[in-house]
């Protein structure tokens, strides 16, 4: 009887173990410039059949010298933007947790302060195209959609038949290995995958400090407009010293990934 119980336990353990995977991405944040020209951060997503946990812009995932570096990126019109990568990186990173059963997405991002958001998982209406390409050892299918203000292209593999992807991109019949908007203002590219994995990283939930405000997505959109106004006010103060400065409201697409 003891041997029988032991065998059942081992089968159960292996079944649970085989459900977990981890995929590593690079994430280029090029909202100011486009063309995939911007800070390039490490990212990963750990997942099982019920939930995924994605994180990027986390200081422990980056080399110290990379966090402190400052780079200037030029756009197609000759404009230049100097970005200090430390402004985009935090101890907890930008996280997204997608729970299938609860149909929820929890997320946070650093924009001046940490912002925490809980929302019903949005249904993304993908169009699956005929085009395919090889990413690593996987043959991936192409899918397109319009989501939260941007037109996206994603490449997914049905070899991992789970509906997860980087950031909030999900709801395809396979794991997304590469994704970007048509301007490549945001660009996730594949680095490696372990599925199943022996990695000890767990599919975890978000730790939110006590007394932190948790926004709905609609409240987050209101906060975005407030942040636009704050930048305009700062520009008006600067204009008093430099009258030649033209004050314009910065477009949301240069401030946030979501830019409706």
Q: Residue 17 in contact with residue 202, Cβ under 8 Å?
A: no
- The model's pLDDT over 18-29, given as tens digits with 9 standing for 90+, comes to 489 999 999 999
Q: Residue 46 in contact with residue 199, Cβ under 8 Å?
A: yes
Q: Residue 164 in contact with residue 45, Cβ under 8 Å?
A: yes
pLDDT at residue 256 tops 70:
yes
Q: What is the model's pLDDT at position 70?
A: 72
- Which tokens belong to 132? 């395919």
Q: What is the model's pLDDT at position 12?
A: 37
- The model's pLDDT over 134-160, given as tens digits with 9 standing for 90+, comes to 999 999 999 999 999 999 999 999 999
Count other C-beta atoms under 10 Å from residue 23's C-beta.
25
Q: Which fold has domain 20-254?
A: outer membrane lipoprotein receptor (LolB), chain A (2.50.20)
Q: Measured between alpha carbons, how far is residue 61 from residues 24, 52, 148, 188 in Å?
A: 11, 18, 27, 16
pLDDT at residue 13 tops 50:
no
CA separation for the pair 153, 143 (Å, rounded): 6
Q: What is the model's pLDDT at position 16?
A: 41
Q: What is the model's pLDDT at position 81?
A: 61
More confident: 124 or 239 = 124
Count other C-beta atoms under 10 Å from residue 206's C-beta.
16
CA separation for the pair 52, 85 (Å, rounded): 26
CA separation for the pair 103, 116 (Å, rounded): 17
Q: Residue 83 in contact with residue 61, Cβ under 8 Å?
A: no
Residue whose pair of structure tokens reads 């199943």 in the numeric block: 196
Q: Which residues of 166-198 are buried (b: 16+ CB within 10 A; e: fewer)?
A: bbbbbbbebbbbbbbbebbbbbbbbeebeeebe
- The model's pLDDT over 68-121, given as tens digits with 9 standing for 90+, comes to 777 766 666 656 565 656 567 899 999 999 999 999 999 999 999 999 999 999
pTM comes to 0.88
- The model's pLDDT over 195-245, given as tens digits with 9 standing for 90+, comes to 999 889 889 999 999 999 999 999 999 999 999 999 999 888 887 888 888
- The model's pLDDT over 149-196, given as tens digits with 9 standing for 90+, comes to 999 999 999 999 999 999 999 999 999 999 999 999 999 999 999 999
pLDDT at residue 59 tops 50:
yes
CA separation for the pair 136, 195 (Å, rounded): 14
pLDDT at residue 3 tops 50:
no
């Amino acid at each position: 009887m003891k041997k029988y119980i032991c065998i059942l336990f081992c089968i159960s353990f292996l079944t649970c173990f085989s459900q977990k995977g981890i995929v590593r991405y690079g994430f280029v944040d090029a909202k100011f410039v486009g063309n995939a020209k911007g800070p390039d951060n490490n990212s990963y997503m750990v997942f099982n059949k019920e939930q995924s946990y994605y994180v990027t812009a986390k200081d422990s995932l980056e080399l110290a010298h990379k966090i402190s570096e400052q780079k200037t990126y030029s756009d197609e019109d000759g404009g230049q933007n100097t970005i200090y990568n430390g402004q985009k990186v935090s101890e907890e990173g930008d996280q997204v947790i997608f729970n299938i059963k609860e149909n929820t997405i929890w997320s946070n991002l650093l924009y001046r302060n940490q912002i925490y958001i809980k929302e019903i998982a949005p249904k993304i209406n993908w169009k699956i195209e005929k085009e395919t390409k090889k990413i690593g050892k996987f043959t991936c299918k192409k899918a397109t959609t319009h989501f939260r203000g941007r037109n996206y292209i994603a490449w997914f593999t049905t070899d991992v038949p789970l509906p997860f992807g980087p950031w909030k991109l999900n709801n395809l019949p396979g794991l997304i290995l590469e994704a970007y908007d048509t301007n490549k203002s945001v660009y996730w590219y594949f680095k490696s995958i372990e599925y199943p994995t022996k990695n000890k990283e767990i599919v975890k939930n978000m730790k939110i400090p006590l007394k932190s405000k948790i926004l709905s997505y609609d409240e987050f959109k209101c906060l975005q407009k407030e942040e636009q106004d704050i930048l305009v006010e700062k520009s008006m103060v600067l204009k008093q010293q430099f009258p030649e400065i033209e004050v314009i409201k910065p477009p949301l697409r240069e401030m946030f990934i979501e830019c409706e």
